[in-house]
Structure 1
Amino acid sequence: MAKIASVDKQSLLQYFVILILLRDAWCMFGNKLYRQKEVNYRQEEKKILDSVLGVDVYDKRIRPSGLNSTESATLVDVNIFIRSFSNIDDVKMEYSFQITLRQQWNDGRLQFKNRLRGMEDKIRYLTMTDAAKVWMPDTFFRNEKIGRFHNILQSNLYVRVFPNGDVLYSIRVSLTCACSMHLALFPLDKQTCNLDVASYGWTMNDLIYRWKETNPVQMVANLSLPGGFKLDGFGNQNCDVKTATGAYSCLRVELTFARQLSFFIVTIYVPCFMIVVVSWFSFWIDHKAVPARVSLGVTTLLAMSTTQASINSSLPPVAYTKAIDVWSGVCVTFVFGALLEYALVNYASRSDAQRLAKQKEAKERELEHAAFSADRIEEGGFPMSMDPLMRRIEGAPMVPPGALLQPEIPVHRRHNRFFDYFRNIQFRAKMIDVISRVLFPVTFMFFNVIYWSYYLTQESETSKVK
């Protein structure tokens, strides 16, 4: 019995070993079969490409036929994906950004449905990195100044050929495009810049561009713009054009850039406002302190002139007046007016001094005359103004004796504290300073109300153009 048990154990062990060997063999055969299928799948793609792009079958110089007939125009669907903005230049009137341009059209010569042989799930499309092997539309950007392709590490483009003959061409491009800007409302303006996509040689009889039905223009989320701008909106439309050589299809992307007003308030408006307010401090300085008032007026005027020059240097020279020109010009005028006010005060102070000198001389003469009259009264005579006989001798009109004895009747008038305050000021120079303390701030605030009410309600000229 022990011998029988040991024999059964050995046979059972041999049986398990055989099963393990069979399992390993089956796995190796399955992996080999899978790799063989994979190799056949890749080889099938190569065979399809060779068959549809053969020299005797396909000629890239010939335009694909339209949907209706060979004579109809080729339709190219366009989609643009905006990746980033690198610069928006007001002086050169241009903007730079990076996009991905996608174009899709149908080329019946590239169909390979009948060559799939049950591999529809495996071969959904064929991908190529050499766009020179198939026909390509001669697309160009009308308002492009500088453009470049990206070739790191490989050329950033691909061509996909679908079984029904559709061709998808995608490429990444960096562009610097011209943008005609109207700066009359700067920095409260909005600028609309365009990107025009058109065919260079094919007319509308041969090639027609059209926007993709869904999401023709796409953009990166949370896109940031340079130069104190923000993206206010974007859209797409057609811009077909007729020239001397024919009519050409064109697509246009409209990008609306709005300036961030907070940036310009902090960097332009607030500093100018502060300079104007500082120039008013001279109204509270004594007019006799000539160095202090002159240095304050000249310093603020130079600071305002420097600020205005720096603003103009960052903008192109245009033939019309900009909103910032009005603001800076009025601020310069107020600062210059404060300096002229001191010139007027200085002149008035000298006039006051001359007037005081004359009044002092007149009082001295009156005192001398009163003393002389008192001496004559003490000697028993009469003052010249009271002796009727002397009046007749001198030929002067007589003053009735009773007139000197009549008491004066006081006249009661209502007093105005405001006018009494100015009436009681002894010097006209001080009166000019007091008036300027009120006149300059009130006038400047009135200007601010008009300025902001007008320019904030105006619409940019570029936004009116459709």
Structure 2
Amino acid sequence: MGTGHYFWAIFYFTSLCSASLANNAKINFREKEKKVLDQILGAGKYDARIRPSGINGTANLPTLVQVNMFLRSISKIDDYKMEYSVQLTFREQWTDERLKFDDIQGRLKYLTLTEANRVWMPDLFFSNEKEGHFHNIIMPNVYIRIFPNGSVLYSIRISLTLACPMNLKLYPLDRQICSLRMASYGWTTNDLVFLWKEGDPVQVVKNLHLPRFTLEKFLTDYCNSKTNTGEYSCLKVDLLFKREFSYYLIQIYIPCCMLVIVSWVSFWLDQGAVPARVSLGVTTLLTMATQTSGINASLPPVSYTKAIDVWTGVCLTFVFGALLEFALVNYASRSDMHKENMKKKRRDLEQASLDAASDLLDTDSNATFAMKPLVRHPGDPLALEKLRQCEVHMQPPKRPSCCKTWLSKFPTRQCSRSKRIDVISRITFPLVFALFNLVYWSTYLFREEEDETF
């Protein structure tokens, strides 16, 4: 056997010995970790019912608990129920002098537990919680770390459905502030105080996506409450959500504008097209009413007027006004027809009287010489007509207005009262609707900026 074979044999033997020593060291280390747990949490050595002492082990000072969290997701924000759902990793950290242990020259960084009932726990609860549950797949998502200096870190993943009172006056041009409140249930501020951990106490996942909202910013604050039983420590996180307007623009505002414009088509139809104008007005009115009821079905019944109520109410009024305009046109048309018939009867009677007078003159022509009079009598119709024309030419000319000039382009027969109502409506309805849009958008957009308080 050569020198090389001896070398490899010695190297292999040394490696086996090193691995065996490492395994023994690991076994010894785990045994020491078990011994440390038995020393600090053994029977009769630690009582989880007793609150830890305050700063520097002072018994009469409250226990300080630092809180931070990581927002993993926000699944929904419900306008009707006024609530939102969130999933977060919640962490608490405090110091318990009774849990100090030897770190074995820095090799034992911390001890890990999965049973929360082994140590004392703060009695924190979420005051605006409606529903909540822990995550237990595959194992319970919770751990407790005990550090050598007695510091305890508690971390758990939970899902919560929280109440979020909303002010919908500017809906859907609104911003909503939803809070997450945490408080002590039984320990007063003399015994327990919650504090936000310094340096980024709330973290939010980067790819947070909400279907109809955008999380603009958040703010941490304190909300201690006083009751008959004492003062209790409280923490809160205010989340500012901005509603995405593009969805409502496409689904509500543009369809309502289209319905209002379609109702104006009635002004351009002939007055005699009664079925077409009635069908168009009733159809647009029912469609607008259905649209309004569908919008209100997704919102809670509130005692104040919302921005969407103003919009749908005015649009419904315009559609209803177009239908009433046709009723007025129809009434005016029948009135004009009645007047035209009366004028025709009057002309027929005048013509009949003239024919009778002419026949009477023809019977007297045989006895006397017929001569046309040089001056007509005042009752003569031709003389009256000449007199009217002279009076018209004698009147001073009036300055024509723009509307009268435009209306004068229509033939005399078409410029009846009913036709003039249609022509005026073609101008008035779009102008008034445009003015309403100007006032509506300027008012609510400026109020949105003024009412933004955080």
Secondary structure at 1:456 match in 2: helix
Partners of 2:389 and 2:329 in 1: CA distance: 43
Among 146, 159, 170, which residue is 1:161 paired with?
A: 146
* Correspondence 1:117 to 2:101: no
* Correspondence 1:263 to 2:229: no
Partners of 1:269 and 1:17 in 2: CA distance: 89
In the alignment, is the contact (CA less than 8 A) between 2:70 and 2:89 conserved in 1? yes
Partner residue, 1:77: 66
Partners of 1:132 and 1:374 in 2: CA distance: 125
Secondary structure at 1:17 match in 2: helix
Post-superposition Cα deviations, 1:30-54, rounded to whole Å, max 9, x if no partner, equal 1111111111122221111111112
In the alignment, is the contact (CA less than 8 A) between 1:191 and 1:462 conserved in 2? no
The TM-score, its normalising length taken from structure 1, stands at 0.88
Partners of 1:180 and 1:420 in 2: CA distance: 58
Partners of 2:133 and 2:267 in 1: CA distance: 61
Among 434, 437, 453, which residue is 1:448 paired with?
A: 437
| Structure 1 residue 222 displacement after superposition | 2.3
* Correspondence 1:93 to 2:77: no
Partner residue, 1:29: 17
* Correspondence 1:288 to 2:288: no
Post-superposition Cα deviations, 1:342-394, rounded to whole Å, max 9, x if no partner, equal 000010110111011011112222222333444455545999x9569xx9xxx
In the alignment, is the contact (CA less than 8 A) between 1:185 and 1:460 conserved in 2? no
| Structure 1 residue 420 displacement after superposition | 4.2
**How many residues end up aligned between the 2 structures?**
435
Partners of 2:3 and 2:428 in 1: CA distance: 114
Q: Point out the structure with max Rg over C-alpha.
A: 1
Partners of 1:48 and 1:334 in 2: CA distance: 80
Q: Percent identity?
A: 51
Partners of 2:389 and 2:452 in 1: CA distance: 81
The TM-score, its normalising length taken from structure 2, stands at 0.91
In the alignment, is the contact (CA less than 8 A) between 1:189 and 1:460 conserved in 2? no
Partners of 2:246 and 2:104 in 1: CA distance: 64
| Cα separation, partners in 2 of 1:135 and 1:319, compared to 1, 3 Å | same
Partner residue, 1:299: 283
Among 30, 36, 55, which residue is 1:67 paired with?
A: 55
* Correspondence 1:52 to 2:37: no
**Deviates most, 409-418 or 168-177:** 409-418
In the alignment, is the contact (CA less than 8 A) between 2:130 and 2:162 conserved in 1? yes
* Alignment map for 1:129-140 (pairs within 5 Å): 129-140=114-125
* Correspondence 1:240 to 2:227: no
* Correspondence 1:371 to 2:358: no
Partner residue, 1:181: 166
Partners of 1:239 and 1:290 in 2: CA distance: 67
Among 399, 404, 419, which residue is 2:404 paired with?
A: 419
* Correspondence 1:18 to 2:6: yes
Structure 2: where are the runs of 5+ without partners? 365-369
Partners of 1:268 and 1:151 in 2: CA distance: 43
In the alignment, is the contact (CA less than 8 A) between 1:52 and 1:110 conserved in 2? yes
Secondary structure at 1:183 match in 2: coil
Partners of 1:184 and 1:408 in 2: CA distance: 66
